[in-house]
Amino acid sequence: MEQDFTHQPVMLDKCLEILDRNLDTPRFAVDCTLGLGGHSEAFLKKFPSLFLVGIDKDGEALQIARKRLEKTGRIAFVHDSFANLSSILSSFGRDPDFIFADLGLSSLQIDKAERGFSYMSSGALDMRMDPSSPLTAREVINSRSRQDLEEIFRSCQEPRAGLLARAIVREREKGEISTTGRLAEILDANTPYRERLQTKKRVFQAVRMEVNGEKGDLERLLASSLEASRPGTVIMVESYHSGEDRLVKRFFASGISPSAPPKFPVAPEPYFEDLTRGALKAGEGEVASNSRSHSVRLRAVKVIGRPERVKKQRL
């Protein structure tokens, strides 16, 4: 029997408010992280003239979303990474009115132990968003050098990165670390009790990002979102940890307040309008009803111009 997975879209009301305030009648848009389709379902309901492209590298999630949304007849399902946004959109020949990305895990990935994302229940040490991808968390944990593991853990600001990397190398010499439960045990054994939850969160996050190449994919998505846009396009991104949010913040800031090289005679014109005045957080009520929203940061901009480098690319 197929397990029923539900997903509560994070900060959905605020996303709809931003779109309603800044777009008259959106007709073409992209959900770069379709997941189980919660945000997209609301977008299609809110805007009856909208045709939407839903992208996800997780084929299982895509099939669930297809069953949920294909009856609308206004969505195209794309099994791919959002890093390939430019090539995906080139086949449609249209500039999007808005681009949306929710960088969090879907309920399917978190709640299904065998996908290996969660430290709350033991399952295979996998963590692949696309199960057909070759690299798994099992390979990262058991094959990478101590120095590599330490660097991976530090990427998510883990203060005990060196100690934990040494512990993992020591334990894997006794036998392969093959489950999330075993990895969590090793982390707990080398972390003070009160800090265990945050340590597991950071380490699992860091390994997941390494397995899926998330940093590089996000950088490509952000660059592609600008290249694919036109003046008036709204770009919204929900991120869940400081590393992701820092990338989004820096990219948006480069267009909100662009800087010129020293002694450059002309200051560049802004090409983004800040729609959220920094980052928005979920309200207390939403956090109480959906604990997965507690760390979200929503940033949104409207494209109001185009930097010279993108102008030249589109000539």
> Binning pLDDT at 50, 70 and 90, where does residue 315 land?
very low
**pLDDT value of residue 120:** 84
Average pLDDT of every residue of the chain: 91
User: Does residue 106 surpass a pLDDT of 90?
Assistant: no
Question: In angstroms, rounded to a whole number, what is the distance separating the alpha carbons of residues 35 and 40?
Answer: 9
Over its C-alpha atoms, the chain yields an Rg (Å, rounded) of 21
219, 76 contact by CB (below 8 A): no
CA separation, residue 243 to residues 154, 247, 248, 272 (Å): 11, 7, 9, 21
pLDDT tens, residue by residue, 116-165: 788 888 889 999 988 888 999 999 999 999 999 999 999 999 999 999 99
Instruction: Give the chain's domains with CATH numbers.
Output: 12-108+216-314 (3.40.50.150), 113-212 (1.10.150.170)
User: Does residue 5 surpass a pLDDT of 80?
Assistant: no
Q: For residues 253-275, give the mean pLDDT.
A: 83
Longest dimension (CA), the chain: 67
Model-level pTM?
Answer: 0.89
Which of 256, 236, 271, 252 is closest to 18 using CA atoms? 236
In the chain, the percentage of residues whose pLDDT exceeds 70 is 91
